[in-house]
Each structure stands twice: as structure tokens, then as C-alpha cells.
Amino acid sequence: MPQQRDVVDLLTADHREVQVLFEGYRANADPGQRRLLVERITVEIVRHSVAEEQYLYPTVRRALPDGDEVAEREIEELSEAERILGDLEDLDPADRRFDSLVRELYDVVSMHIRGEEDVIFPELRERLTEEERMALGLRVGEAKAATPDPPGGQIGGGQAGGGSVNTGRPLAERVREWLSGPGRA
């Protein structure tokens, strides 16, 4: 059972976790380790996105005066991140375009984080009661807990030694499918 936390605190912790993964990528020169870090980033971004789409953005649409516009903008950024993740999957980590795409992904994710932390989260703190934020945090936490790490810690294809076969579909798409598979919320 996940610990009950304010949704703002929970999602902010997710943001910091992904930032640490990006820092690990920048600090590591080994192509195999970089591939593994990008796969971990993929899982975390998609897990975060799914939880936000299920619980955060419906609340944003209701609670913020311009909620529909704000939610759509954030969803577009997350879709752009998933597109870049798909492009990364097709490249060898030793390819110099790989680093360029990771920087582009970092920029998109950073913009998403700033949008939530500078606009959405302060608005939610102002417009929702503490009890509402705690209840929302519990739902987001339960959604994340219902989607444990993939078997072996990976779901990727052959390059990283993951446990599943690369079907030619982007990793982000396969993660989404895995997250919403049988027995998962």
C-alpha cells in the first residue's frame, strides 16, 4: 500500500527522480549503461504520464480556470517526450545523434516539469484542500504501485538485454501497453 502523500509532493518527487536519471546519463560514457538509463527514463516518464492522465489532468481540467488548455499543453509535452523516446530507441547509443536526442528529451521534460511546478502545482495548492490533494496523491500513488518495475527491471528489446522481444513498436508504446495490461490499473 503506497504511503499517502500530497499529490504535489508525490509528483515533484517523480520529477526529481527523472532528473537524477538524466544526470546519471550525462555522467556515464558507457553506451550500454546509457541505453539502460534511457530505458529506465522511458519507464519512469510513461509511468508518470499514465498516472497524470488518469488522475491529475482530469482534476486540473475541473479545478483551474483554464484547466483544459493547461492539461492539453502538458499532455502535448508528454506526447513529444514519448515521440523522442521512440526515436532514441532506433539509434545505437554510440551514434552522436543519440546524445542530441537525449538533450532534446531533457529539454522537453524540463519544460514539462517547469509547467507543472511553476503553474499547475501552485494552483492546485491554492484551489484544492489538503484533503483533496492527499486523496489525489493516494490515487496517483496507487496507480504507480499497481505498475511495478517490469520483470528483470527492463522491458526493452535486444540492445539492452531486456526480457521482451522488440516488436518494432516504440518502447514508450510497449511500456504504455505493459502498464495497462491485465491485472494493472
Arithmetic mean of pLDDT, 160-184:
49
Averaged pLDDT score across all residues of the chain: 83
Q: Burial letters for 167-179: b for 16+ Cβ neighbours within 10 Å, e otherwise?
A: eeebbbebbbebb
pLDDT tens digits along 30-85: 999 999 999 999 989 988 888 999 999 999 999 999 999 999 999 999 999 989 99
Per-residue pLDDT at 17: 96
| More confident of the two residues 183 and 117 | 117
Arithmetic mean of pLDDT, 100-116:
96
CA atoms within 13 A on the CB side of 10: 24
Residue 50, classified by CB atoms within 10 Å of its CB into exposed (0-12), middle (13-18) or buried (19+), is: buried
CA-CA distance, 184 to 154, in Å (whole number)?
Answer: 17
Cβ proximity of 174 and 182 under 8 Å: no
| More confident of the two residues 116 and 149 | 116
Per-residue pLDDT at 163: 33
Judged against a pLDDT cut of 50, whether residue 6 lies above it is answered with yes
| Residue 96: pLDDT band with limits 50, 70, 90 | confident
Per-residue pLDDT at 159: 37
**CA dihedral of residues 128, 134, 137, 141 (deg, nearest 10):** -170
Judged against a pLDDT cut of 90, whether residue 100 lies above it is answered with yes
Q: Which residue from 151, 164, 16 is spatially nearest to 89, judged by alpha carbons?
A: 164
Per-residue pLDDT at 63: 96
Per-residue pLDDT at 98: 95
Cβ proximity of 56 and 140 under 8 Å: yes
pLDDT tens digits along 118-152: 999 999 999 999 999 999 999 998 887 776 565 44
Per-residue pLDDT at 47: 87
| More confident of the two residues 65 and 175 | 65
